[in-house]
Structures are given as structure tokens and as C-alpha cells.
A and B are shown apart, each in its own frame.
Chain A
């Protein structure tokens, strides 16, 4: 069965610095997707970025990039130039057929 692991329950980062949130996964599927979502304190789940298992290049979306290392089965999220509004819970998710399997999340606090 597929599994997603986020080992950092919480992290601090200074405003304007970059931060990396870790995500590893376990699967024997040849094809899969990896997703990152942001959940602010208001509760909604906001899609940030997607990486397909066959994608040769790391995905980027604005200040978000995904450091995808297929052999290591890791899909770390990098947020550049952190802003106070980035303070939130971040979830990594494995895209299996018909559903997402979520990790336990990392709570990021951006300090001024």
C-alpha cells in the first residue's frame, strides 16, 4: 500500500528566507502524482503544486518548487522568500487512482 511521510511536525522560518518541507513516499506503482496543499488557520485546503512521476523537470509555481528525487522517493516542497502569509499547515499527498493519500502535515510558522 502507498504511504506518505512528513517527519517535521513543525518548523520556523524567518521572513524572506527559503524553507524546505520534507515529504517521502512509499509505493510500487509505476505511475503516480505528488501534490502539496496548504491549509491556513481558516481551514480551507489550497492546492499549491503537482509533480508527476514521469516528469523530468521539477515542478515550479511562483515561489513554490518541488524538489523531486524519484530514486529516494522524496518530494520536498521549497518555498522561497517566505512571507508572513505562508504561515499554515502544509500537506503532501500521494495521488493514487481515484483518491489522495495525505501525510500528517507540517505546521510552518514564518517569523518577522
Chain B
């Protein structure tokens, strides 16, 4: 158990809908990262927050947004969902701002299925 929690574990929804994925980092970690894992794209970095502020953006679609709250939990909002958004979404956390020495610990993931 990495100490990172994600809810829900599974999510099934329809095209055009909006969903929210939730993540709580390990105790003491200030950075939260979101990744998407799909068969065609592999594991892709989406976005990072550090202590409530956005720090880095990857291949995140405009339909997707995220935030980190004062208690450091984070939410990833996915809207106008398409079939291609079906994927495993991971949250990870690390202790500091995210340098090359900063180990990221992953949550169990949320499996999103868009029908």
C-alpha cells in the first residue's frame, strides 16, 4: 500500500458526461500528479500540483481540469467525455516540488469506462 488513495475504483459513464476523480496523497506529501494509462498512448503525464498551485502541465486536454485543495487532496474533472477517454487514471504523490530525485508513489488508479 503506497498510502495514496483514489476514489472511485471504477467508473462507468456515457459519452458527453462529466466525472470527478478524487485523490488523497500520502501523509506529508505536497505534490500530486495525474497520469492517464491507455492501450494506445501508454502512461502519459497530465498535470502536477504542488501545495495547491499548478506546477506543470503535460498532455492534458482542454476538457480536463484539476485542482488541489488546502487539505492537499486533488480532483481531476473530465467533461464532455468521449469513448477515447476510457483509461486507467492514476494519481501519484511526492514529498517535494518534483525534481529528478523526487520519487512518485502511485495510487491504485481509477478505471474509467465511457460507453
Query: Is B one of A's binding partners?
Result: yes
Least CB distance from B48 to A in Å reads 5
With both beta carbons as reference points, the residue of chain A lying nearest to B46 in the complex is identified as A99
Cβ contact within 8 Å between A47 and B103: yes
Cβ contact within 8 Å between B90 and A99: no
With both beta carbons as reference points, the residue of chain B lying nearest to A35 in the complex is identified as B103
CA distance A45 to B107 in the complex (A): 7
CA distance A29 to B101 in the complex (A): 13
CA distance A105 to B42 in the complex (A): 9
Cβ contact within 8 Å between B98 and A98: yes
CA distance A35 to B102 in the complex (A): 10
CA distance A92 to B100 in the complex (A): 14
Cβ contact within 8 Å between A33 and B98: no
**Is residue A91 contacting chain B, with contact meaning CB distance below 8 A?**
yes
Evaluate whether A45 and B90 lie within 8 angstroms (CB atoms) in the complex, with A99-B48, A99-B58 already known: yes
Evaluate whether A47 and B105 lie within 8 angstroms (CB atoms) in the complex, with A52-B100, A97-B100, A99-B56 already known: yes
Cβ contact within 8 Å between B100 and A32: yes
CA distance A99 to B94 in the complex (A): 11
CA distance A31 to B102 in the complex (A): 12
With both beta carbons as reference points, the residue of chain B lying nearest to A104 in the complex is identified as B42
With both beta carbons as reference points, the residue of chain B lying nearest to A32 in the complex is identified as B100
B contact residues around A45 at 8 Å (CB): 90, 92, 106, 109
CA distance A104 to B56 in the complex (A): 22
CA distance A31 to B35 in the complex (A): 23
Q: Which B99-115 residues have a C-beta within 8 angstroms of A?
A: 99-109, 111
Interface centre among B42, B55, B101, B105, by most chain A C-beta atoms within 10 angstroms, is B101
Cβ contact within 8 Å between A99 and B102: no
**Is residue B43 contacting chain A, with contact meaning CB distance below 8 A?**
yes
Least CB distance from A77 to B in Å reads 15
- Cβ contact of B106, chosen from A31, A47, A50, cutoff 8 A: A47
With both beta carbons as reference points, the residue of chain B lying nearest to A33 in the complex is identified as B100
Show the binding face of B for A, using Cβ within 8 Å: 2, 33, 35, 42-43, 45, 48, 55-56, 58, 88, 90, 92, 97-109, 111
